[in-house]
Amino acid sequence: MKKLVSIIFAALLLCGTAFAKDQSIAYIDMSYILKNLPQYEQANEQLTMLSKRWQKEIDAAQQEARVMATNYQTEQIFLSETMRAQREQEIVAKEQEVLELKRKYFGQEGELYKKREALIKPIQDEIYNAIQDLANEKRIDIVKDRSADPALIYMSSKLDVSDQVLRKLGAK
């Protein structure tokens, strides 16, 4: 039984090795490519500016809610039951407003996500098309991103086509 398993394993190993020899592989460094594309840097700056502006708006609303809560704490002794209930509702409403702003700007389908899609997706598509064109020209079967592959220990620089992709994109 062990002999049969060993024979099957050896046959599979030989078949896999023969198949791998017929494939050509190249690597790119996506982070390197993105760093060298001015349009990506510009898009990133826009996203950062928007994010900071929206975060300031959220921080201001949070501060307003904190002030309302602090004022309530100090004044609650002097307030009637009706006034206390009203103030508590106002504080809860302000806190809800803060949560809604966070969702609106930074949620899964928020404004930042939509803006990132609008700015970054076309750049990613352009990179993908350049990689695909290069792979077709050079008859490369597989292109892997070395910046996203933690298992990659060593790679010959001959296999890195990042600069060629950048040239296809018109970057310096």
Rounded Cα–Cα distance for residues 58 and 119 (Å): 23
- Written as six digits, the tokens of 156 are 């010959």
Q: Are 115 and 53 in contact (CB under 8 A)?
A: no
Sorted by where each begins, the domain ranges of the chain are 21-168
Rounded Cα–Cα distance for residues 90 and 95 (Å): 9
Q: Are 68 and 91 in contact (CB under 8 A)?
A: yes
Beta carbons within 8 Å of 65's beta carbon, 6+ residues apart? 91, 94, 95, 97, 98
Give the Cβ contact number of residue 114 at 10 Å: 10
- Written as six digits, the tokens of 166 are 């950048």
Amino acid at 29: D
Q: What is the pLDDT of residue 14?
A: 57
Q: What is the pLDDT of residue 22?
A: 67
Q: Are 28 and 146 in contact (CB under 8 A)?
A: yes
Between the alpha carbon of residue 135 and those of residues 9, 41, 68, 140, 147, the distances in Å are 33, 26, 61, 5, 18
Q: What is the pLDDT of residue 171?
A: 76
| Run means of pLDDT, 10 residues per run, the chain, 172 residues | 56 55 83 93 96 97 96 91 94 96 95 95 94 91 83 76 87 72
Q: What is the pLDDT of residue 146?
A: 82
The answer to whether the pTM exceeds 0.95 is no
Q: Are 62 and 98 in contact (CB under 8 A)?
A: yes
Q: What is the pLDDT of residue 166?
A: 87
